[in-house]
Amino acid sequence: MSRINLKIVNEKSFNDKINRQADGVLKNLIRTVNLTANKVRNVAVTKILSNPRTGGTVTRYNPNRTISISKAGDYPASDTGFLANQIAVKIDAGGLGAEVISNADYSEALEFGTIKMKARPFMQPSAEEARKKYKLDSVNAVNKGMK
């Protein structure tokens, strides 16, 4: 059986360094969560507003107009800008969690489709685009905080 004895010299200095590192890691992770959530929001808004509208035309009412629409599977095309303006970031109280939400009442119909319309997802593809970078950024946040 092996035994290791560890004696910490200047325990106060050691504890202070550990606490500083923990604070640094926490601040970096909070920043990473915030940046990633805002990236998801910004990707969704940008792609909605810049959709090439290759899905044909439809007539809308109030006001009466004919517009080009997105094709099934693409990000939804913006007509009035309402959908893009309703996408928001909600950061949890501790800062380590976040939600990107769309408050437009028709968001779910666009994201998942309906009996009459195929889906035009915008939240999930935006989250997937940010997910890969988030993994790398969170590892970097921890490493940077440990210095």
Contacts of 68 (CB under 8 A, 6+ apart): 53, 54, 55, 56, 57, 77
pLDDT tens for each residue of 58-80: 888 888 888 888 999 999 999 89
Q: How open is the CA angle 99-102-105, to the nearest 5 degrees?
A: 140
What pLDDT does 81 receive?
94
Residue 8's pLDDT band, with cuts at 50, 70 and 90, is low
What pLDDT does 102 receive?
97
What pLDDT does 104 receive?
96
pLDDT-above-90 percentage for the chain: 53
Residue 35 has which token pair? 């940046």
Question: What pTM does this model have?
Answer: 0.82
Residue 110's pLDDT band, with cuts at 50, 70 and 90, is very high
If you ran DSSP here, which 8-state letter would residue 51 be given? -
Provide DSSP, 102-135.
E--TTHHHHHH--SSS-----HHHHHHHHHHHHH
